[in-house]
Amino acid sequence: MKVRAWLIPVFCTLAASSAAPPRAAGRMATIEARLAAAAPGGARGTATLQTEDGAGTRFSIKTTGLTPGACEVRVAGKAVALLFVEDSGTGELLFDTALFDKTIGSGAYQEIDVSPLSFDPRGKTLQISRDGQNLLEVNFPVRPMAGRR
């Protein structure tokens, strides 16, 4: 399945910054959180942050049970991307810090498989919404749950 993310250039400022989470030397850390439905209807999802020394940081969002179409993804109230939900009701986004080394097109919209990770979700509220209505949300953890690394 090809993952599609349409990024509006305003959401995708590619400047070296401290937005990428720090990495622990020589190990991999994973933080996972379940997105809770903000309204009844059976929608659900997961958000996962993986950091690995020398390999960068990846953040993924996977959803099921949503109505097909575009949803806005917000982190700490700031729009970061659009999530396109397939006819099957599933949607998926992948962000990666490695994309800071690549050039992004200058068009109004750019179709890419992976989006640049320009934010740190830890300790922030993640929301998936459509037409101003929150569909899924979670307060993303700061560190892995006990027993998970």
Provide the 3-class DSSP secondary structure of residue 50.
strand
Total domains in the chain come to 1
On whether residue 21 sits in a domain, the answer given is no
CATH number of the CATH domain containing 114 = 2.60.40
On whether residue 148 sits in a domain, the answer given is no
Q: Which two tokens stand for residue 118?
A: 């320009």
pLDDT of residue 146: 63
On whether residue 23 sits in a domain, the answer given is no
Q: Where are the beta strands (DSSP E) in 28-148?
A: 28-37, 44-52, 56-64, 69-75, 78-85, 91-96, 110-112, 115-116, 125-130, 133-139
On whether residue 144 sits in a domain, the answer given is no
CA distance 60 to 35: 12
pLDDT of residue 99: 66
On whether residue 69 sits in a domain, the answer given is yes
> In angstroms, what is the C-alpha Rg of the chain?
15
Range of the domain at 130: 5-9+29-139
Sheet containing 78-85, strands listed edge to edge, beginning at the edge strand earlier in sequence: 78-85, 69-75, 125-130, 133-139, 28-37, 44-52, 56-64, 91-96, 115-116
pLDDT of residue 147: 55
CA distance 65 to 22: 33
On whether residue 24 sits in a domain, the answer given is no
Predicted confidence pLDDT, tens digits, the chain (149 residues): 444 444 332 233 222 233 444 444 567 889 999 999 877 778 999 999 998 877 789 999 999 999 999 999 999 999 999 999 999 999 999 998 876 544 444 443 344 457 889 999 999 999 999 999 999 999 999 988 665 44
